[in-house]
C-alpha cells in the first residue's frame, strides 16, 4: 500500500473509485437503478485500468 501512495497515477485511480462508489451509493438511495448500472460499468472500467497499471508496474503485462 505504501508503494501506491507514491504513485500519482494509482492514487488518481483510487480517488476515482471512491467518487464512483459514493455516486453508486447515492443512486441506490434514490432508487435509480439505471444510474447504478451505468456507474457500475464505469467502476469496472476503472478497476480494469488499475489492474493493468499494477501489472505493467510489476512487469507482468502479458500483451
The yes-or-no verdict on residue 4 having pLDDT over 90 is no
Yes or no: say if 45 and 52 are a contact pair by the CB < 8 Å rule: no
The alpha carbon of residue 18 and the mean position of all alpha carbons in its chain are separated, in whole angstroms, by 7
Q: What is the pLDDT of residues 21-58, one digit of tens each?
A: 999 999 999 999 999 999 999 999 999 999 998 888 77
Residue 60 pLDDT more than 70? Answer: no
The model's pTM is 0.77
What pLDDT does 34 receive?
A: 97
Rounded Cα distance, 4 and 62, in Å = 21
CA angle, 16 then 21 then 27, to 5°: 125
Amino acid at each position: 500500500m505504501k508503494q501506491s501512495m507514491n504513485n500519482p497515477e494509482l492514487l488518481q485511480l483510487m480517488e476515482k473509485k471512491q467518487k464512483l462508489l459514493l455516486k453508486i451509493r447515492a443512486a441506490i438511495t434514490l432508487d435509480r437503478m439505471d444510474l447504478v448500472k451505468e456507474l457500475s460499468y464505469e467502476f469496472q472500467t476503472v478497476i480494469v485500468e488499475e489492474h493493468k497499471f499494477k501489472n505493467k508496474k510489476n512487469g507482468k503485462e502479458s500483451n
